[in-house]
Every structure is written in C-alpha cells, then in structure tokens.
C-alpha cells in the first residue's frame, strides 16, 4: 500500500487527519507550505510523528510535480478559509487553482481514491426544523464571499473530473469545527474572543458545529466508505449563536454575551466597516458579508454522513472543553 497524501497537513484539520491515518496504520506523505511547520511552535514537527513531509505550493505546480507519485490515495484538505476581506483573488487561486493542481496529480498517479475536503457552505442551508442537506442548491452567492464562491467552484471541478474521466473521488464538507490543537488559531479563535470578553452580543443567526476529530474520522473513513462522486456534510449540533455562546461560556467559566444584536444594527455596522476598510486599505474588524452570514441560520442535516461514512457525534461540550484545555496548556489564555 502506497502512502496517503494529505495536503494542508500543517493546518488544524490536517493535523488531526495525519494522526487519524497514523493511528490506523496508514503511511502518510504530508504536504505543507514552505516554512509553515516551523511557525506552529506549539505543535510537534510532523517528521517527529514518522511522516514523510514535502514542502510545496499547490499554486505553483512545478513545486509539486512528483508529489503524488507512489501514493495510493489523496486527502485534499488544503484551502484558504479567509473571509476578511470578502473579495480576495488569493483565495480563488488557492482553493480553485490548488484543487486543479491536485486533480492533475491524482490523474497522473492513478490514485485509488481522492477525498476532497470542502465546506457545508457550498449547499443551501435550512432552518432548525428543516435543515439543509447535500441536495440543496448553493445559496452562498448572495453574500459576496470569495471563500464560499471559490469552494463551490472547487467542488464543481471535482465533480466534473468524476464525470469526465472517472476520478474515484468522494467529497466531504465539514461545518464549523471545534477542538484541540488549533495552533494558528482558526475556528477556535471564537472561544478565545468569548473568553476575553470581546463579543459585545450575539447575532440572530446560528450554525452547525462539530468536533474536529469526528471530521477527521469520517474523512479517513471516506478512503474506503462512501460512494464515488457523492458529497457528505460532516457536522453535528445545530445551535443559535445565543445557545452556542452560552454553552461555550459555561464550559470556560465566563459570562456569556447577553445582548442580542439586531440584524439591522449589525448590517449598519458591517457597512461602516466596509467604508473604513475602503478608506484605510486594510480590513476592518468585520465586513458586511460576514455580518450577513451571522444574521442567517446555517443549519444542516448530517444523516447521510452518519449512515454512509460512520460519522461520529461527539458532544459539542467535549469539543469546547478539549479546545479550551489545549489553549490553557499552551498559554493562549
């Protein structure tokens, strides 16, 4: 069995993917951006875990031309998840251009399976009573976020490869991930903001949350489970922001935000931030696209992934607790 190539291996999810693969006895080849491993000083080097590490940039195909040779499978988790500023050509280059590079490498290496890591935001969301699922058409274009738009385009590129040249790909789409080991930090920065009392209130919307380890387990399961060309939303609990912030605060032993932020007030603040960013040439604290997302309820069903990828469902409280303990152990708080 050849190694499993993991792109984005130095990231929050990527690290958990590597650990899950190693725990199951898979040999791993990890792609990281040049110099990225040394920047995450709170984490052990991937080489110390017995991983073959390659440095390269998927936006520069010449730097990764033999990356997948000898690999039996690829998990493509590399992406730029930046939403501020809302429009950013580098996000398109990484998410679409990088995916196109991986598709070329997968074809050249004739891998047995490619697992593409997308985002649940490429599907239409729903209400708590009728959550969105994999059958709902993309609804994110209304926000004007290059991150969402580029991930939808990258998803389409993978599906085209499945149809055009029978790429053996399975697509997984995580919701909002929480858990330990977020060294940058990325999604778990929300916990730090809440702990430090920097959230003035809660917006009217909500989202689906999931333990990062559950995502890693289901993603590795997709190497041998799931149907070719099918997409699977990887998530767990649908919570309003008020509910989520209250749970996070209770676990961390702090007071939750108690003031609701009306949607209109949030939109006005977002518009003001856009003007400030335009005047200064630098992103403001938020932008109008981020505000629009927070005003909506991005709720999803995960029944398909539970049935076909054996997606675990760790309670969100455990994910928060593990993330907070990791932050404390590494002196983030």
Q: Say whether 329 sits in a helix, a strand or coil.
A: helix
* Nearest by Cα to 14 from 183, 169, 153: 183
Six-digit token string for 80: 């730029």
What per-residue confidence (pLDDT) applies to 38? 47
- What order do you get walking across the sheet with 73-76 strand by strand? 52-55, 28-32, 4-7, 73-76, 113-117, 169-174, 231-234
Give the other-Cβ count within 10 Å of 165's Cβ.
9
State the number of CA atoms in the 13 A half-sphere of 208 facing the CB: 26
What per-residue confidence (pLDDT) applies to 39? 47
Low-confidence ranges of the chain (pLDDT < 50): 38-40
pTM metric for this prediction: 0.96
Q: How far apart are CA 309 and CA 131, in angstroms?
A: 19
What are the residues whose beta carbons fall under 8 Å from the beta carbon of 129, sequence distance 6 or more?
none
What per-residue confidence (pLDDT) applies to 42? 61
What per-residue confidence (pLDDT) applies to 104? 97
Burial classification of residue 279, based on how many CB atoms lie within 10 Å of its CB (0-12 exposed, 13-18 middle, 19 or more buried): exposed
What per-residue confidence (pLDDT) applies to 36? 66
CB 155 within 8 A of CB 297: no
**Domains annotated on the chain, with CATH:** 4-181+208-236+300-313 (3.40.50.720)
């Amino acid at each position: 069995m050849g190694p499993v190539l993991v792109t984005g291996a130095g990231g929050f999810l990527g690290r958990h993917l590597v650990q899950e693969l190693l725990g199951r006895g898979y040999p791993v080849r990890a792609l990281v951006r040049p110099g990225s491993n040394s920047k995450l000083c709170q984490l052990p080097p991937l080489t110390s875990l017995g991983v073959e590490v390659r440095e390269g940039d998927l936006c520069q195909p010449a730097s990764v031309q033999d990356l997948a040779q000898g690999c039996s499978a690829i998990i493509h988790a590399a992406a730029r998840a930046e939403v501020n500023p809302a429009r950013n050509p580098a996000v398109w280059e990484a998410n679409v251009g990088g995916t196109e590079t991986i598709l070329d490498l997968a074809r050249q290496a004739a891998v047995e399976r490619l697992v593409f890591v997308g985002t649940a935001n490429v599907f239409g969301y729903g209400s708590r009573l009728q959550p969105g699922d994999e059958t709902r058409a993309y609804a994110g274009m209304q926000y004007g976020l290059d991150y969402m738009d580029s991930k939808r385009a990258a998803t389409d590129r993978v599906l085209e490869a499945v149809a055009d040249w029978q790429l053996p790909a399975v697509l997984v789409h995580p919701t909002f991930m929480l858990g330990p080991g977020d060294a940058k930090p990325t999604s778990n920065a929300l916990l730090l903001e809440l702990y430090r009392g920097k959230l003035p209130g809660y917006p009217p919307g909500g989202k689906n949350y999931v333990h990062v380890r559950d995502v890693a387990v289901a993603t590795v399961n997709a190497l041998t489970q799931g149907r070719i060309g099918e997409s699977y939303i990887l998530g767990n609990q649908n919570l309003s922001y008020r509910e989520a912030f209250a749970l996070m605060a209770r676990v961390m032993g702090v007071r939750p935000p108690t003031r609701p932020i009306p949607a209109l007030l949030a939109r006005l603040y977002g518009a003001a931030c856009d003007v400030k960013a335009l005047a200064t040439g630098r992103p403001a604290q938020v932008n109008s696209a981020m505000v629009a997302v927070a005003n909506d309820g991005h709720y999803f069903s995960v029944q398909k992934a539970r049935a076909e990828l054996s997606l675990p469902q760790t309670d969100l409280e455990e994910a928060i607790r593990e993330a907070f303990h990791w932050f404390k152990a590494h002196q983030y708080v």
